[in-house]
A and B are shown apart, each in its own frame.
Chain A
Amino acid sequence: MSYLSIRGLHKSYGSTPIFSEIDCEIGKGEFITLLGPSGCGKSTLLRCIAGLTGVNGGQIILDGQDLVPLTPQKRGIGMVFQSYALFPNMNVAQNVAFGLRMQKIKGSEAEQRVKQVLELVELNDFAERYPHQLSGGQCQRVALARSLVTRPRLLLLDEPLSALDARIRKHLREQIRSIQQELGLTTIFVTHDQEEALVMSDRIVLMNAGKIVQSGDAESLYSAPVDAFAAGFIGNYNLLDADAASRLLLRPINSRVAIRPEAIQLGVQGAIEGQIHSHRLLGNVIRYRIEARGVELLVDVLNRSPADLLASGQRINLNIEDNAICEVA
């Protein structure tokens, strides 16, 4: 029995459909990421779950209760926004206490709970500061604390890391994940960043153009994309059409094929002859552009030593294992 179940949900603005027939089951304590390009409907789906946007049909059942007829105030859902949405006229403690104030929880109990969540996000020294005196990462941690203090049944995170710089983003995503696990909080996280999705989630729901394309854990999504979109969005797959694939692999293939660039081995006794076109250094990985049998391929190789670098124009043998060849729709 799943904790949150979304059934046949659809939403349109006028005659423009945003998403339709969304079905999704989420277990208690799961961390689910909605991943997709901007405009795919993932943020709207999140807002519909929160009740900030109405739906045109379907059900959202949380812990046995249909949320659709309820106002956002009554849903018991916490949400963190990309823009932080901290109240500028209140200091950190007042921001965090706002939800308790609305629930008429006052006095020492309120103080205690505010203190607890501020400790959880490591901001207890900042209780008296105002939002404009905080950095972006600190603001987002306050926003997280504010949404946790009311002990929500479900936590929604709408691209909470997108406005932060890379270093803080990495730190905060680990912090969010560990807090979520500590509290066993069912969480839906929205992002367009595949790395974030892969690192943080129990399960990823990949969306495109208002539809769920594929859902599963990071491994299955990364190693077995169901279609060309999934292959294109996650990782840097080599996507070959049936003709090119047949030519490269010297056997008849009737569908498109996706091959991960790191699954192609170089320099071994490979069956396929190719020539290095160019290379780019991505830090720990070197990405070669190689032409083999008239097909251009990207190949990622771990950057072990500068001496191993292959020069442009050099001839090289490639090996592609059968299980690295993924037929996609």
Chain B
Amino acid sequence: MSLAENKPAALYHRVVVWLLFLILLLPLAGTLLYSLSTSWSASILPSGLTFKWYVALWSDPRFLAAFAQSLLVCFAALLLSVLLILPLLFVVHYHFPKLDGLMNILILLPFAVPPVVSSVGLLQVYGSGPLAMVGTPWILIGCYFTVALPFMYRAITNNLQAINLRDLMDAAQLLGASTWQAAFLVVLPNLRKGLMVSLFLSFSFLFGEFVFANLLVGTRYETLQVYLNNMKNSSGHFNSALVISYFFFVLIFTWAANRLNKDRP
């Protein structure tokens, strides 16, 4: 404490922090102001304030569809992740702990290959033939599943290691619980935190994903980011409203993730 109360140093620290805030917030503040202004071109301050861009945005059926489709693809991908990863993690950590090393390498693959490269590969494999699903949301759900995998796997693994899975399972079974009862009553409730945090993180990330969405599906099943890209030639005020809306939505999610991170199980 005494170090922080050292006046010149404390002042310096404050200035640095506020400056950083300013630099980070200035573009956002500018965008926010632009999205709220009637017109703002040749003057220092906007000529007037209005909500009309937000009204226009939130009443555009194409935007609402893109928003809903983004949500749908993200939720579907995350649901798939939960259904597949939870049992997988359980099996790896309870029955085959040696596989964890292999899994750690496998789950990093989606990070190791740049999205543009893997898109080209996916287009080749799923572009035609029996598994032709390029241009449908299905390919995006599958692809997003692989993107979410590392987040989910790591966060839940950390959680699993913190709770001493083996002893908890053993204790529950000796008290008469079947493997399923032990998993649902004892293990799963203790993974809630890791699961929720990783879900929110993955969601924020996937909701802003553009490369896969644009290359694999494009306008055939327009997501929010693709819609934003397609709207780049329309009014700047309108686009600003879109960016701010998107940012605000993700902000709420990140805030929720942080809240969950702080709470004890």
User: How distant is A158 from chain B, measured CB to nearest CB, in Å?
Assistant: 9
Once the chains bind, are A87 and B190 in contact (CB under 8 Å)?
A: yes
The interface size of chain B toward A, counting residues with CB under 8 Å, comes to 20
Contact of B168 among A72, A85, A132, A150 (CB under 8 A): A85
| A133 smallest CB distance to B (angstroms) | 10
State whether A83 touches B190 (Cβ < 8 A). no
Judge whether A52 and B170 touch: CB under 8 Å. yes
B191 to chain A, nearest CB (A): 10
Known: A85-B164, A88-B190. A52 touches B173 (CB 8 A): yes
Residues of A within 8 A of B189 (CB): 89
Sample 7 A-B pairs with CB under 8 A, ordered by A number: A52-B170, A71-B173, A79-B170, A81-B171, A87-B186, A89-B190, A147-B175
Q: Is the CB of B186 within 8 A of A73?
A: no
Q: Is A136 an interface residue (CB 8 A)?
A: no
Seed contacts A88-B265, A143-B171; 17 additional CB < 8 Å A-B pairs = A50-B174, A52-B173, A75-B174, A79-B174, A81-B167, A83-B164, A83-B167, A87-B168, A87-B186, A87-B190, A89-B189, A89-B190, A98-B177, A99-B176, A102-B181, A132-B264, A146-B171
Distance in Å: Cβ of A113 to nearest Cβ of chain B:
13
Footprint of A on B, CB under 8 Å?
163-164, 167-168, 170-178, 181, 185-186, 189-190, 264-265
**A96 nearest in chain B by CB position:** B175
CB neighbors of B among A58-94 (8 A)? 71-73, 75, 77-79, 81, 83, 85, 87-89
B190 touches A81 (CB 8 A): no
Q: How far is the CA of A217 from the CA of B236 in the complex (A)?
A: 88
Is the pair B174, A77 in contact by a Cβ cutoff of 8 Å? yes
Indicate which residue in B172, B173, B174, B264 contacts A87 across the interface (CB closer than 8 Å).
B172
* B175 and A81 contacting across the interface, CB-CB below 8 Å: no
Q: Tell me the bound Cα distance from A99 to B176 in angstroms.
A: 6
Closest 6 CB pairs of A and B: A102-B176, A99-B175, A85-B167, A89-B189, A85-B171, A72-B173
| Chain B residues with CB under 8 A of A305 | none
Q: Which residue of B lies closest to A79 (CB)?
A: B174
Check if A16 is an interface residue, CB within 8 A of chain B.
Answer: no
Residue A108, interface by CB 8 Å:
no
A132 to B164, CA, bound (A): 14
In the bound complex, residues from chain B placing their C-beta under 8 Å from that of A147 are 174-175
Task: Flag if A52 contacts B174 (CB, 8 Å).
Answer: yes
Q: Chain A residues near B190 (CB, 8 Å)? A: 87-89
Contacts of A143 in B (CB 8 A): 171
Cβ of B185: which chain A residues have Cβ within 8 Å of it? 98
Chain A nearest Cβ from B159, distance in angstroms: 11
In the bound assembly, the distance between CA atoms of A52 and B168 in angstroms comes to 12
* Cβ distance B188 to chain A, nearest Cβ, rounded Å: 9
- The complex places the Cα of A72 from the Cα of B170 at a distance, in Å, of 9
A51 to B176, CA, bound (A): 12
> A103 within 8 Å of B by Cβ?
yes
Complex Cα distance, B178 from A238, in Å, reads 52
Q: A89 to B162, alpha carbons, bound, how many Å?
A: 13
| Distance in Å: Cβ of A130 to nearest Cβ of chain B | 8
Least CB distance from A90 to B in Å reads 8
Partner of B171 from the list A75, A79, A132 (CB cut-off 8 Å) is A79
Counting chain B CB atoms within 10 Å of each CB, the highest count among A72, A75, A79, A85 belongs to: A85
> What residues on B are CB-neighbors of A51 within 8 Å?
174
Which residue of the partner chain, among A71, A89, A98, contacts B175 with CB atoms under 8 Å? A98
Say yes or no: A73-B171 contact (C-beta < 8 A), given A89-B186, A89-B190, A89-B265.
no
A150 to B178, CA, bound (A): 16
Known contacts A87-B190, A88-B265, A89-B186; A98 and B172 CB within 8 A of each other = yes
Distance in angstroms between the alpha carbons of A147 and B171 in the assembled complex? 9
- Inter-subunit contact B177/A73 (CB<8 Å): yes
CB of A255, distance to nearest CB on chain B (Å): 44
Chain B residues with CB under 8 A of A146: 171, 175
* Interface pair B170/A81, CB less than 8 Å apart: yes
> Which single residue of chain B is at the shortest CB-CB distance from A103?
B176
Name the one of A77, A85, A88, A102 contacting B177, with C-beta atoms under 8 angstroms: A102
B93 to chain A, nearest CB (A): 15
| Chain A residue at minimal CB-CB distance from B175 | A99
CB distance from B11 to the nearest CB of A (A): 40
Q: Which residues of A contact B177 (CB under 8 A)?
A: 73, 98, 102
A327 to chain B, nearest CB (A): 43
With a cutoff of 8 Å between Cβ atoms, the chain A residues found around residue B170 in the complex are: 50, 52, 72, 79, 81, 85
A77 contact set on B, CB distance < 8 A: 174
Q: Are A72 and B265 in contact (CB under 8 A)?
A: no
Min CB distance A163 to B, Å, is 12
- Kindly list chain A residues whose C-beta atoms are within 8 Å of the C-beta of B172: 87, 98
Contact with B along A138-177 (1 / 0, CB 8 A): 0000010011001000000000000000000000000000
Which single member of A72, A88, A103 contacts B174 (CB below 8 Å)? A72
Residue in B closest to A102 when the chains form the complex, CB atoms: B176
In the assembled complex, the CB of B7 is this many whole angstroms from the nearest CB of chain A, namely 40
A52, A73, A87, A89: the one within 8 Å of B176 (CB): A73
A-side contacts of B173, CB under 8 Å? 52, 71-73
A98, B170: Cα distance in complex, Å: 13
